[in-house]
Chains A and B, each alone.
Chain A
Amino acid sequence: SQELEQSPQSLIVQEGKNLTINCTSSKTLYGLYWYKQKYGEGLIFLMMLQKGGEEKSHEKITAKLDEKKQQSSLHITASQPSHAGIYLCGALSPGDSNYQLIWGAGTKLIIKP
C-alpha cells in the first residue's frame, strides 16, 4: 500500500525566513493535497496538485509536484506567525482508491518572533 513520508517532522523558523516542507510517496501520485491543521479548526485545504511539474501558489505558499509525481514540496516565503501549525500532505493513489486520502504524519511548524 502507498506510504507518504513527510520531512522534517518539525521545524522552528524565525519570522520572515523561508522554509520548505517535503512529502514523498512510495508510488506515483494521482492527486497530492496539502492541508494545514490547527487545533479547533480541523484541516484547512491549501492546494491540490495533479500534473507532473505542476506548481501552484496561494499568497506566500507555493507547492510543487515533481515530474515523476512522487514528491511534492511546500515552500513558504517570508514566514509569519499565522503560518504556524501542522502541515499535512494527503494523496489519492490510482488502483487503490478513488475516494480516500492517505496521509503523511505531518510537519509541525513553529514561527519564532
Chain B
Amino acid sequence: EPEVTQTPSHQVTQMGQEVILRCVPISNHLYFYWYRQILGQKVEFLVSFYNNEISEKSEIFDDQFSVERPDGSNFTLKIRSTKLEDSAMYFCASSRDIYHNEQFFGPGTRLTVL
C-alpha cells in the first residue's frame, strides 16, 4: 500500500542553523501539507502546496519557513534559522485532490533545536 515517507526520523540541530526536512508524498497525490506538533500540544497546520505553489499557510509559517518540490517526488520544508521553539514533530501529508481530500500522513520528523 502506498505511503508517505519522511526523512530523517530525528534531526538535532543548533539554534540558528538551517534544516531541511524531506518528504515523499504518495505518487498520484496532488496536494501536499506540512503540520507540526510541539510535545504535548495539538497538531498545527503550517502550509499546503498545490501545483507548485503555496495554497494556504498559517501564521506559524513565517519568512523563516519555505517549501519546495524540487523534483517529481520530493517535498521539502526548510527552516532557515532554527529557534528553540521550532523543536517539534513535523508531519508531512498528501491528498489525492480537493474532492478526495483524505490526508495521509508520514511518520514524522522529530526536530530538536539545542
Contacts and interface: CB of A to CB of B under 8 A. Distances in A.
Contacts of B48: 99-100
Nearest to A6: B42
Contacts of A104: 42
A98 B56 contact: yes
Interface residues of A, number: 23
B76 interface: no
Interface stretch (A18-26, A43-51, A72-80): A43-51
Given A99-B55, A100-B56, A101-B45, A42 B101 contact: no
Contacts of A92: 101
B58 A100 contact: yes
Nearest to A104: B42
B11 interface: no
B55 A42 contact: no
Interface class of chain B by DSSP: strand
B75 interface: no
Interface size class of B (residues with CB under 8 A): 20 to 34
A45 B105 contact: yes
Contacts of B6: 42
Given A45-B102, A90-B43, A92-B101, A99 B31 contact: yes
Nearest to B46: A100
Contacts of B65: none
Nearest to A40: B107
A33 B102 contact: yes
Contacts of A100: 33, 45, 48, 56, 58
Contacts of B101: 31, 92, 99
A87 interface: no
B106 A42 contact: yes
B45 to A, nearest CB: 4
Contacts of A29: none
Given A48-B102, A99-B31, 6 more contacts: A42-B107, A45-B103, A98-B56, A99-B48, A99-B98, A101-B35
Interface of B: 4, 6, 9, 31, 33, 35, 42-45, 48, 50, 55-56, 58, 91, 93, 98, 101-108
